[in-house]
Structure 1
Amino acid sequence: MSTPLFSALGSLAPPWRHLPMRAALPPGVALARAQVSSRSTVLEEDGQTFAEVLADLPRFSGPARRLLLEGQRSNALRNPRGEGGTPGSSALPTNWTSVIAGGLSRTYLEPRSEAGLQGPRLRLEGTASGSSSTFALEGTTQIAAAQGQSWTFSASLRLVSGTPGTISMRMICRDAGGVSVSSPALSAVVPTGDLIRFERSFVLPADAAIAFLQPALQMSMVTGQAYDVVLDVLGAQVERGGFASTPILPAPGAPAASTRGADLASVALASLGLGGACTLLWSGLLPQLATAEADQTLLQLDNGTDSHRISLRNLAPGGGLVAGRVLAGAAADSPSLGSITPGTPFRAALAIGGGRVAASLEGGTVQVVTDGPASGLTTLRIGNNAANTAALFGQVGSLAFLPFAVPDAALPGLVTTLPL
């Protein structure tokens, strides 16, 4: 327990417990993450290199080493490592294809492995007689899709040499026969000599003919202009959802679409000495705002179901934090505690007692929701709800708890003492 936290509590200090979620899981906190023939990833301490992590192991992200908790996602690309093909020839990695402007030639120069990711180094050279060239990272009828869905395309790119036209990420929508139909607009990226991870999200048009999508990198060309462009494409990913999650990879040598299960972190309230009233403090960060698809759960106390619970959530869509309760299926939320800033660490607290929940964000005004569960809570979930449908997709740095509800007047001061 930190000295500032101890001092702020005064006479309340002795029973307070602090559970740092950095570099190791505290005793009693269980984590499970299912995955089959796939590798989850996490940024290492340098904040630039991805490490591969197997099933059921916690992931601690970046220099701060906070616990990373994400929901289930699948990388629909069968070959994100860019395996296969023939380096030094025009034969691209397995399942990758291209449509090259007249007058140009393509070369798969070599396989690359950098920052924990793999992929090809590609070259386009010659004098163009067309307006664009496209490298597609999957086949025309491989990734099933439908109108109105949100998809995100991400990849680490480096412009090794040359002066390209505009490089864009593209989602080509195709019908059941693989014919191109209405597609979202291209989204430009600006690769440099540094390896940079780009992500672009797309909402598929309202076109009932859409049955598949095909991700691609496209470069605009000027007819009659000479080009010699070399580009690295590492760790590509295509996933359902309005933002990118960490790269999901098949096992080396076994190209296939891959799924990372949700990170499920929980602890039995009894093991913490908690049964009814309590105070909980949370610190961490969310890299992105919530999309319209789902809330983002920071904390939830429940009886094993979502019909009897108390929660702290970032509401969809946006960045407004609320305390909520569900009792016998009837739900209510507090007024907003305020808004978070994506990528910026923050702290929040809940004081729970007698069915009443008081909450504060970063020492702000205490907001209250009443008529919640007064008993029967058995489990503290970190970063998701019981149904695993409202994942945090963020990082947790600290948890602290006290076995009774502190007064509303004390809550804002306590919030700001928790380490970020």
Structure 2
Amino acid sequence: MTTPVFRHWAKSERGQTAILFSLILLPFLALIGLSIDATRQIAMKAHAQVAVDSAALAAARVYKDSFVHTEVRSAATETFSANIETGFADATCTLESTQIDDATLTITIDAKCSLPTLFGIDLVGKSEAEVLGTSTATAVHRVADVALMFDLSGSMNAAELADLKAAGKRAAEIIIGSQSGVTGRVSVIGFAGGLNAGDFGNLAAGRASLDDPELDGSDRVCVTERMGTNAFTDADPTTDPVGAPTTIFQTIASPEVDRPSAPFCPYSSIHPLDEDLNAVKAQIDALERHSSGFGWGTAGHLGIAWSWYTLSPNWNSVWTDTAYGGAAKFEAGPYGDPNQPKVAILMSDGIFTHGFNLGFHDRDQLIETSNVTDAAYELCEGMRDAGITIYAIIYGPTIALNAMFETCAGDPDNVFSATDSADLVNVYQNLASRYLGVSLTD
């Protein structure tokens, strides 16, 4: 039998338990509510990150193909919108910014989402949670060795040469880049009525360093065509030298006169493959248009030959000889390496018309043009057979040059025309970007 005192105690215990349970339940429910909101925010954060990553990659792909900022931003917006819509129906998301860095070839996407809280307004006084997302994608440089050949003949006026320099430097920036471990290399080859190979030309012609019997300056070695069975190959020049500068030249006006090859070649010398962007850009900046009283003509076949030589491992004895200005970094990689493609980007504003040695030069201009054009075909075929990809750029509407370059490149799709500075920069950028991929940064 329970006394009244104990019955009162029992009733009091049940009341205390109810109060205690209520005190425990309220924070427990609050934790459940907050965990639900937190789970939604975490899921929203993950979804937003996928959306900004996708937008950054899509924008980077468009960027490497066109470099047009408006197109890049449109791609980012469209891709972000398409991906974010598959998330929470009650979320409000905006793409805050698309930042494009032409120097580092990077695209940075920033986005913000507002997600209503289901319990936060009652528990912590917040009606919505802010979720941020950011992502950076870059055009990744692939290792490539690229020869840039430039026409410096008299038909290129000062404004055109300035445009060409700007375009060439932009290509070098893209190819060489600034990413550790994936640096490409660029060689620079300028030609006019002849080609100045610098002291490398002395070595390739079997002469001593700084040899200058032509008295045109030891830094100006105006080489001529290689003769014999290796005229159109990249054979090692230490066993089969290229043509040395000549002092005898036939003209239309007279049979043979004492006339050196120097007036036909530019003061700008070639530069071997180099990963030093500043050095390459300085070499391009130093390019000079060349024309003299009798230094007419365009010896593009020599430009093609020396473009090949800079890419050829068979010429490493030349490029690495320190006595002639060489260095180990100029060494060309082996043929057939899929991770280090070899590319030649040839540029001219007119057909090739000028040669030097027997079988190239002729007093009949039509025959001479035919000779050097055939030489260009032979050299280009040899380059393609060695696995070198050839692209060609025509500056100006030269139909005859278009036909020649199509044969030289081996594919009409590898030939491009530019009529003004904007076209020229776009062509060089687009060709350089073929050796880029896209990737999210760490």
Settle same-fold status: TM greater than 0.5: no
Whose radius of gyration is greater, 1 or 2?
Answer: 2
User: Relative contact order, CA 8 A, sep 6+: which one is greater?
Assistant: 1
- Structure with the largest fraction of helix: 2
Q: TM-score scaled by structure 1? A: 0.25
